[in-house]
Amino acid sequence: MPRHSDPIYLDYNAGAPLRPAVRDVMIEVLGEAGNASSVHGHGRNARGRIEQAREQVARLCNARSRAVTFVSGGTEANMTALTPVWQDQGAPVYLDKLFRSAVEHPSVATGGRFATADQVVLPVDAAGRVRLDQLEETVRDAGPGLISVMAANNETGVVQPLAEIGAIAASYGHFFHVDAVQAAGRMTIDPDAWQADVITLSAHKMGGPQGAGAVVARSTARVPSALMVGGGQENWRRGGTENVAAIAGFGSAGVSALEEAADTRHLTGMKARLEAGLRAVCPSAVFFGEDADRLANTCCFAVPGIAAETALIAFDLERVSISSGSACSSGKVGVSHVLTAMGVEEELARCALRVSLGWSTDEQDVDRFLELWPRIVERLDPEARHRAA
């Protein structure tokens, strides 16, 4: 049980703490010699570690193990997927456009290997979900392209209607990529149900090591062209000597994440109590995506008049780590492009805070946050406790 002097981590969407089981397997692998491309015993042992992890990550994604390609993280995974050149049944296919939502992670919003002129931004509704009618209208008469939509938003936790988007992509002959980085361990991942050609993952979001990710194809006959070339590693889909320890840790984290995704009730309960406590102190609190399907672990909210930057500092001084949104902006606190796309006014968007729970969060962590919240509100804006919703 944490004491008041212990730091509390509530920023799992930025990165989860390393699981003890993951640390153990990584230390074990780091003590072993061998390049996985070597044919001797040490090399075969390293290869075995990678293939075991490949099976573990494949199970997490309801995919075949040969469909899993290990890369250096979520950004490289997305860069690999976002290419206008694919291989389909052994023949190259050239895609005309990238259709991506307005609320994508920066690693997708930059467009990957698509030229800026070949990118189309898809609007979202007030909850941050892709507008299916406009998606269909946009792609109906377009040449073959790639639709890229995240499974769940890193800032708000809002889950996209992936099966419906996949059906539209299939109906009009487009390829479909799902960034499932935030989904792993928090919801079921199923490329078949989504009709997704490829999904992407990052190990450190699920309690694995930083610097490991994966591209998972629904079919090994339909894959994006390689980003990293120069070697035959990863079935020729990603050149470079594999990081065996990180990959082994990724596999171990995948096993735990699969178990946790099957039952998220404890996270749902803690989030509900957290949000009720926030609203009890500040009736004017706004919860973004509240009426949409959200991840069980994510709460993104704002209290008008309490700037996110000031609140973050106040919590940090109390040794509680939360966020103002995405952690991929060089530590800067600015206006969220996600909230802007949802139609949130800039003044309110500058007040947005994100609390994200995970595998080691317990009730005492939530208790401590709710104990601090009224004190911080009183210090920053006493009137906030009396403003109506």
Domain ranges of the chain: 8-17+264-385, 20-261
φ, ψ of residue 119 to 5 degrees: the values are -110, 135
Give CA–CA dist 16/144, Å, rounded.
37
Between β-strands 85-88 and 98-101, what pairing exists: parallel, antiparallel or unpaired? Answer: unpaired
Which pair of structure tokens corresponds to residue 88?
């389909």
**332: helix, strand or coil:** coil
Give CA–CA dist 384/389, Å, rounded.
10
* 8-17+264-385: CATH topology: Aspartate Aminotransferase, domain 1 (3.90.1150)
User: CB–CB of 148/200 below 8 Å?
Assistant: no
User: CB–CB of 215/69 below 8 Å?
Assistant: yes
Amino acid at 208: G
300 is catalytic: no
**Considering the domain 20-261, what is its CATH architecture?**
3-Layer(aba) Sandwich (3.40)
| Tens of pLDDT, residue by residue, the chain (389 residues) | 444 568 999 999 999 999 999 999 999 999 998 899 999 999 999 999 999 999 999 999 999 999 999 999 999 999 999 999 999 998 999 999 999 999 999 999 999 999 999 999 999 999 999 999 999 999 999 999 999 999 999 999 999 999 999 999 999 999 999 999 999 999 999 999 999 999 999 999 999 999 999 999 999 999 999 999 988 999 999 999 999 999 999 999 999 999 999 999 999 999 999 999 999 999 999 999 999 999 999 999 999 999 999 999 999 999 999 998 655 554 556 689 999 999 999 999 999 999 999 999 999 999 999 999 999 999 998 887 878 77
Residue 9 DSSP symbol: E
Q: Is 88 left (phi over 0), alpha (psi -120 to 50) or beta?
A: beta
The catalytically annotated residue of 61, 300, 328, 351 is 328
**105: helix, strand or coil:** coil
Residue 102: is it exposed, middle or buried by C-beta count within 10 angstroms (0-12/13-18/19+)? middle
Which pair of structure tokens corresponds to residue 44?
């075969």
Which residue do the tokens 């935030």 mark?
182
